[in-house]
Structure 1
Amino acid sequence: MANRSRAREVALQALFQEDLNPRESRDQVMPLLENRLKEPELREFAISLVLGVLRNREELDALIAAKADNWSVSRMAATDRNVIRLGAFEIRYTDTPPRVAIDEAVELAKRFGSANSSQFVNGILDKLIERKESESDELPKHE
């Protein structure tokens, strides 16, 4: 498993824990990341993902809800919801190429989700890329 993929996996575990037990897990997120990721650069990457998702969760959930036809974010399986949040955060706020973010999210969904999770995650994140690409098309071009 690639190093950054491992960091995403641990970040997902921390997000899942925080999602299910918000009050008890805040203080446990950092020790979880520190115990599971020994390399400082991977730990920093995972921390940036977790804190970024938590900091932007309302906006991410609104984006996801707008793209998830007939699904509310709260009704999604906790694993799927957090995989999508993680992928959406990478697409929206990091320099990770959008297709890489989707591929990584789909792999997490295959590993930790149900039989249909990977298709569900892929469908929603693909719609977020379409939005991001159309937004960049609307920006004025400098010549």
Structure 2
Amino acid sequence: MAARTRARKRALELLFEAEQRGINVGDLLESRIETPTTQHALPDYAVEIVRGVIAHWGQIEEVLATWSQGWSLERMAAVDRAALRVGAWEILWNDEVPDMVAVAEAVELVGRMSTDESPGFVNGLLARIAEVKHTLV
């Protein structure tokens, strides 16, 4: 697994864990930086992603809610929400990652970690966000 792919997975796991435990994702991130729970520290890119998602949380939630067409954020699988947040941040605020790479990586993550329908849903939503991003940010 490539380094950035691993970092995206770790970022998704942090976002997912914080939501499931009902704790602040920023606090969880700082805790994991200070005291890693594995033998490997969090990858720098995972930290960048999570901090980026936190910094743009309101905008990301609004974009996802607006473009999900009939799906409220609450109806989405929690893993899908986390992957969509990562993908949306990469598309809208990380110019180093091509949009379609961000989409493909998010689709790959949910393909391994979520429902059978998740890859198609995540692909469609993030691809649409990539198409209209110039009107969003």
**Fold similarity call, TM over 0.5:** yes
User: Distance in 2 between the 1:130 and 1:25 partners?
Assistant: 29
* Count of equivalent residues: 133
Aligned in 2, Cα 1:25/1:115: closer, same or farther, shift over 3 Å?
same
Residues 34-75 of structure 1 show CA distances to partners (whole Å, capped at 9, x for unaligned) of 445837xx7211101011112211110110111111111122
The answer for the alignment partner of 1:20 in structure 2 is 20
Larger Rg: 1
Correspondence list, 1:12-91, <5 A: 12-23=12-23, 26-32=26-32, 34-36=36-38, 38=40, 43-91=43-91
Q: Which amino acid aligns with 1:113?
A: S
Q: Which amino acid aligns with 2:115?
A: S
Question: Secondary structure of 2:115's partner?
Answer: coil
Given that 1:11 and 1:50 are in contact with CA atoms closer than 8 Å, whether structure 2 keeps it comes out as: yes
Residues 67-90 of structure 1 show CA distances to partners (whole Å, capped at 9, x for unaligned) of 111111122110111101110000
Q: Say if 2:122 is the partner of 1:124.
A: no
Q: Which amino acid aligns with 2:127?
A: D
Q: Which amino acid aligns with 1:120?
A: F
The answer for the alignment partner of 2:98 in structure 1 is 97
Question: Secondary structure of 1:46's partner?
Answer: helix
**Structure 2 alignment gaps of length 5 or more:** none
User: Distance in 1 between the 2:39 and 2:9 partners?
Assistant: 10
User: Distance in 2 between the 1:55 and 1:47 partners?
Assistant: 12
TM-score w.r.t. the length of structure 2 is 0.86
* Residue 24 (structure 1) shift: 6.6
Question: Secondary structure of 1:69's partner?
Answer: coil
